[in-house]
Amino acid sequence: MRIGLDNLNSQQEVEETSNKYTSENLYLPDGSVDEDNTLLNQGKQNEPESEPQFGEDGDSKPAYEITITDGDSLVNADQVIENFKRMAGGRLRGSTPKVYEYYFRRFVKATDFEKCSRRQIAGKKGKELLLQYLLDKNLVSEPSKRTQNAALKTVWEEGIGIPYPINAKRNLGELPEVQKRQSPRNSEVIPWIQAIDREEEPHLKSLVFMIFQLGIRPSHVRLLRWNHVRYGIDGKPNAIMTTGREPGNKRMTPIKARLPEDLSNALTELKKVILNSLPDDPILPYRKPNGEYEKSQTMTPREYSIQWDRFQTKHLLNRLRPVDLRHWVASTNRKAGLSLAARCALQGHKFKSSNQNENYDNPQDIDIIEEQSRAIPYGPIGVVCPKMEITQGLPAELTEALEKCLSGHLKASEFGEILTAYLLRKIEQPVSTLVTT
């Protein structure tokens, strides 16, 4: 069996989607956003196998005969990456191909990889370079060793076309478990909730609300179309329903989410701003730097990040990423008593459980929406910042002023002045009927 770069070129190319990240807008480990949790999810399923492979030890033999075509020519990192994208780019999820490319290029920059011939890379030299890089704590931190090893293994095998020459357990020792993000505390989230209430731009308000109230991925937010919106008898948006098979949705996971009133109102206002939107137009279209909308153009990952950062800067908020809020939504809904099936449907997660009884629990869509309406009527935001029902027959002017005060649009002192003025007017009114004995 012959494996070489010329063989790889004969493989059928896998078409890349237009939504794939580019180098300039990738959210890397040292960046700000990793919307698809790539670094958390990719370690275990891509971990090298435990059996010795080619080059494992000095006398190890390959499982099959390998012939390196043009073995004396130097390896080229760009060609390896191109082959990797063609062979594996279509099956890896989200931003994974770009993250793997990033790690491989770090490895190339830190070693003499491109100074070696293909024959050397297939032999002991390849193993030496990999261990030189992965065991250097100044280059690879202990928590990221598992993920980086998985990335290098995938690019190595798919891009060069030869077996990965090292074994994780034998050569790297016991790798740490992939670190799991923790949900932010309510005290970190409440300033953001107050800022959303103050936000007046429907587009920006809807963008942030989508994460806080639904907890869906930014990649899913960008894919949502107006034909995914369901409306109530009052004509207002009341739910979002997707099939999971929309173009660009690699996770193939449907979303079944009831819309809290504040998000419904934000989408209603957004529809007034973006006039004549068609059913296939994105809910959150691309917004030009001058503020105009390309109503049929999907927002890019970079544009989404720009808008998110603009909201944070505009309201002088502490740093929170969309992925942080997705964790917060999951924890908040669990505390509110929402079932696992309903939580997964809300956030667009695959419903899997080790509990056999939970696997049998497969409610219909209408039951999921009803449960969300009952358990979290005001969404995750309403769990943390309860909405006060004002139904005690207060005059309209006081009801409106109190609602503004509770939402942060009116200072408490200003509400006090409105209340005082109202009471003075009532006291000064003449008594129309005098009761005597």
- What distance in Å separates the CA atoms of residue 343 and residue 345, rounded to the nearest whole number? 5
φ, ψ dihedrals at 427, nearest 5°:
-65, -35
Give pLDDT tens digits for 72-111: 788 899 999 999 988 886 777 667 888 899 999 999 999 9
**Alpha-carbon dihedral sign for residues 90, 92, 95, 97:** negative
Residue position matching structure tokens 């029902």: 389
Q: How confident is the model at residue 110, as a pLDDT? A: 92
161 in Cβ contact with 121 (< 8 Å): no
Q: What is the pTM of this model?
A: 0.61
Q: What is the mean pLDDT of residues 242-250?
A: 78
User: Which residues are CB-neighbours of 147 under 8 A, at least 6 positions away?
Assistant: 39, 42, 43, 103, 178
**Long-range contact set of residues 339-344: C-beta below 8 Å, sequence gap at least 24:** 339/371, 341/368, 342/368, 342/371, 342/372, 342/375
Higher pLDDT, 288 or 205: 205
DSSP 410: S
| pLDDT above 70 coverage of the chain, percent | 74
Give pLDDT tens digits for 183-234: 999 999 999 999 999 999 999 999 999 999 999 989 899 999 999 999 998 8
Give pLDDT tens digits for 313-331: 999 999 999 999 999 999 9
Tell me: pLDDT of 49 over 60: no
DSSP 298-319: EPPHHHHHHHHHHHHHHTTPPP
Residue 147, class by beta-carbon neighbours within 10 Å (0-12 exposed, 13-18 middle, 19+ buried)? buried
Give pLDDT tens digits for 5-46: 333 333 333 333 333 323 333 344 444 444 444 443 443 444
Q: How confident is the model at residue 11, as a pLDDT? A: 37
The neighbour count for residue 198, using CB atoms within 10 Å, is 12
- What distance in Å separates the CA atoms of residue 413 and residue 404, rounded to the nearest whole number? 12
- Mean pLDDT across the chain: 78
Distances (CA, A) of 262 to 147, 157, 236: 40, 50, 11
Q: Which helix (H) or strand (E) covers residue 256, if one does?
A: strand 256-258
**End-to-end CA, the chain:** 115
pLDDT band at 280 (very low <50, low <70, confident <90, very high): very high
- What distance in Å separates the CA atoms of residue 363 and residue 344, rounded to the nearest whole number? 12
Q: How confident is the model at residue 353, as a pLDDT? A: 66
Tell me: pLDDT of 57 over 60: no
291 in helix, strand or coil? Answer: coil
Q: How confident is the model at residue 196, as a pLDDT? A: 94
The one-letter amino acid at 102: Y
Distances (CA, A) of 381 to 20, 347, 378: 31, 15, 7
237 in helix, strand or coil? Answer: strand
Q: How confident is the model at residue 48, as a pLDDT? A: 39
